[in-house]
């Protein structure tokens, strides 16, 4: 079992996201109010493990949740090891289904431009919202499939 470290969103694509107290996730849309919401059914929501950020920071960086433009920062689950189709029950309402592990980085993000590399292409995970609702920091994450 894991937990939510941060729920993050931004008003513009290609930028870091800011942690929010509570996020509303909608089926077929993603995180309400986020710049990526409604753009891509396969990649409605992005997730990154705090463990990935910590490993990256051990090379001398100081990045925090949301800096890699992820919507959800998790702890306790090695996200890149989950197979596509895995389902995550988060809190008492939200269910996400993993749709993609990693991504092709067509336009280099701010982090890549700053330090010459980024972890989202290999360690970021994308999901579709199967059941919507509220999510907040501290919510438990249970792998169900």
**Residue 64 domain-assigned (yes or no):** yes
This prediction's pTM:
0.90
Six-digit token pair at 20?
A: 């929010």
Q: Over 90: is that where the pLDDT of 143 sits? A: yes
In whole angstroms, give the CA distance from residue 20 to residue 3: 16
Q: Is residue 69 part of a domain?
A: yes
Parallel/antiparallel/unpaired status of strands 45-49 and 72-75: parallel
Span 6-65, pLDDT tens digits: 999 998 877 789 999 999 999 999 999 998 887 777 789 999 999 999 998 998 889 999
pLDDT value at position 118?
63
Residue 104 included in any domain: yes
Which CATH number is 100's domain given? 2.40.33.20
39 part of a folded domain: yes
Whether 89 is covered by a domain: the verdict is: no
Least Cα distance to 43 among 110, 92, 87, 103 occurs for 103
Task: Inform me whether the pLDDT recorded for 127 exceeds 90.
Answer: yes
Find the domain containing 27 and state its range.
2-84+94-143
Beta strands 125-131 and 87-90 are unpaired
* Domains identified in the chain, total number: 1
Residue 6 lies in a domain: yes
CA distance 49 to 70: 9
pLDDT band at 133 (very low <50, low <70, confident <90, very high): very high
Q: Is residue 115 part of a domain?
A: yes
Identify the pLDDT of residue 112.
56
pLDDT, tens digit, 9 for 90 and up, residues 84-117: 999 999 999 999 999 998 866 655 556 555 665 5
């Amino acid at each position: 079992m894991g937990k939510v470290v941060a729920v993050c969103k931004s008003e513009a694509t290609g930028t870091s996201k800011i942690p929010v107290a509570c996020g509303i996730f909608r089926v077929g849309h993603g995180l309400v109010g986020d710049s990526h919401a409604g753009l891509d059914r396969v990649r409605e929501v992005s997730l990154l493990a705090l463990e990935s950020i910590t490993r990256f920071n051990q090379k001398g960086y100081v990045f925090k949740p949301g800096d890699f433009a992820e919507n959800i920062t998790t702890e306790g689950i090695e996200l890149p090891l989950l197979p596509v189709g895995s389902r995550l029950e988060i809190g008492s309402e939200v269910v996400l289904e993993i749709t993609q592990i990693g991504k092709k980085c067509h336009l280099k993000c701010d982090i890549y431009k700053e330090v010459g590399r980024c972890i989202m292409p290999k360690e970021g995970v994308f999901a579709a919202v199967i059941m919507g609702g509220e999510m907040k920091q501290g919510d438990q994450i249970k792998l169900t499939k």
